[in-house]
């Protein structure tokens, strides 16, 4: 059942994205030849009016086929006036932008629903999972209650920040480097206080030093309407910024390992459904937002590439030769494939290793 629910969630994101293009194209008067959920070969289709509605066999996205997306396409006179490249630049930008816009709006709505109606989990000070290869392994135990770090108490976030304040020598950010000074950790175990001296090690993914344990989750706490909206906007920007850094991550070998693909997103969603169905709302919001931002990168065949060349045409005040866009599209297509392959490779490594660490 988790596979089916995850599939439905991803299908919803694709459908809404393509519906954005579809509705906008119909609204501005373009001729839509086909609306397809997933890619060919076509499994089933039905024609209503001038548009064919289809379901494809390859669940890797979807598409809306508008007449005249190729300016050299041979079209009848009655169709040519409603073709994509026969329309003013502003109409083309509206139609192409409508897909990512749907995902952006959906992401913000889902984030708001999550914080206002579901609420994020709070953290207790009890130790839950302990990661292998980290200083906490073999020292701390699940069920320990963390009461102080370096002799001072505080919230779980404050205790974590105090641990992270112990940095490697000379600000080194080498993976696995030990903090120059150990941290004093006091826990209550079986009613007795115990104190341990542990040297945190640097985790490049978290970008801080850690001991390698997680706090047990507490009850969920919903936020008031205004605070939920503010928090949603804040998280919206955080995810947007991280997604915009995606091309730069391809250059950095360590950052490249953090990139996840369709398989990783799907598996994370599926596992979250098994462990905590309510968290799926937040995960789908992040995926929807990331999908929108990536689609707005200014490279063909992405939506952002079509918008970019439409703007260039507006500035030049004459159409851009299709051959130029084709050559530029090759570069964009290679970048998209590279991101896909890196994400797929990382996903396979995670699947064959320790998994995606979804609690």
Map tokens 């404050």 to a residue: 158
Residues 41-46 have a mean pLDDT of 93
- What is the pLDDT, as a whole number, of residue 257? 61
Picking from 118, 134, 318, 294, the residue whose alpha carbon sits closest to that of residue 214 is: 134
Q: Mind listing the pLDDT tens digit for each residue in 235-266?
A: 999 888 887 877 666 666 666 565 665 555 65
Q: b/e string for 119-147 if b means 16 or more Cβ within 10 A?
A: ebbebebbbeebbeebbbeebbeeebebb
Q: Which CATH number fits domain 122-220: 2.30.42.10, 3.40.140.10, 1.20.272.10, 2.40.160.10?
A: 2.30.42.10
Angle, vertex CA 318, rays to CA 315 and CA 324, nearest 5: 90
Q: How many residues does the chain have?
A: 359
Q: Mind listing the pLDDT tens digit for each residue in 286-344?
A: 889 888 988 898 888 889 999 999 999 999 988 888 888 888 888 777 777 776 666 65
* Residue 55 near residue 45 (C-beta atoms within 8 A): yes
* Residue 20 near residue 102 (C-beta atoms within 8 A): yes
For residue 115, the SS3 value is helix
The model's pTM: 0.76
3-state helix, strand, coil in the chain (%, to 5): 50, 20, 30
* Residue 95 near residue 67 (C-beta atoms within 8 A): no
- Domain residue ranges in the chain: 2-117+274-352, 122-220
* % of the chain beyond a pLDDT of 90: 40
């Amino acid at each position: 059942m988790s596979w089916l629910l995850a599939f439905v969630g991803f299908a919803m994101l694709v459908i809404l994205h393509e519906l954005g293009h579809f509705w906008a194209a119909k609204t501005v008067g373009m001729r839509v030849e086909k609306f397809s959920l997933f890619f060919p070969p076509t499994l089933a289709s039905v024609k209503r009016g001038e548009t064919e509605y289809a379901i494809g066999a390859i669940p890797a996205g979807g598409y809306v086929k508008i007449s005249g997306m190729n300016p050299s396409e041979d079209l009848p006179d009655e169709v040519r006036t409603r073709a994509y490249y026969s329309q003013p630049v502003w109409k083309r930008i509206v139609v192409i932008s409508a897909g990512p816009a749907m995902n952006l709006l959906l992401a913000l709505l889902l984030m708001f629903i999550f914080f206002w109606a579901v609420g994020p989990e709070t953290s207790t000070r009890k130790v839950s999972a302990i990661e292998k290869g980290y200083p906490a392994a073999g020292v701390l135990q699940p069920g320990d209650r963390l009461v102080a770090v370096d002799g001072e108490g505080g919230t779980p976030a404050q205790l974590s920040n105090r641990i992270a304040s112990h940095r490697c020598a000379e600000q080194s950010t080498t993976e696995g480097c030990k903090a120059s000074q150990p941290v004093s950790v006091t826990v209550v175990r079986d009613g007795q206080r115990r104190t341990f001296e542990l040297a945190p090690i640097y985790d490049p993914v978290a970008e801080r030093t850690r001991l390698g344990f997680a706090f047990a989750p507490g009850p969920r706490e919903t936020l008031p309407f205004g605070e939920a909206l503010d928090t949603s906007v804040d998280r919206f920007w955080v995810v947007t910024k991280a997604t915009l850094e995606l091309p730069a991550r391809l250059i950095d070998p360590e950052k490249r390992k953090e990139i996840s693909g369709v398989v990783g997103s799907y598996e994370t969603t599926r596992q979250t459904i098994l462990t905590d169905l309510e968290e799926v709302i937040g995960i789908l919001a992040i995926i929807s937002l990331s999908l929108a931002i990536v689609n707005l990168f200014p490279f063909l065949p992405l939506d952002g590439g079509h918008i970019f060349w439409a703007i260039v045409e507006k500035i030049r005040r004459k159409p851009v030769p299709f051959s130029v866009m084709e050559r530029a599209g090759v570069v964009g297509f290679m970048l998209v494939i590279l991101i896909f392959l890196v994400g797929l490779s990382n996903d396979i490594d995670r699947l064959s290793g320790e998994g995606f660490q979804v609690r």
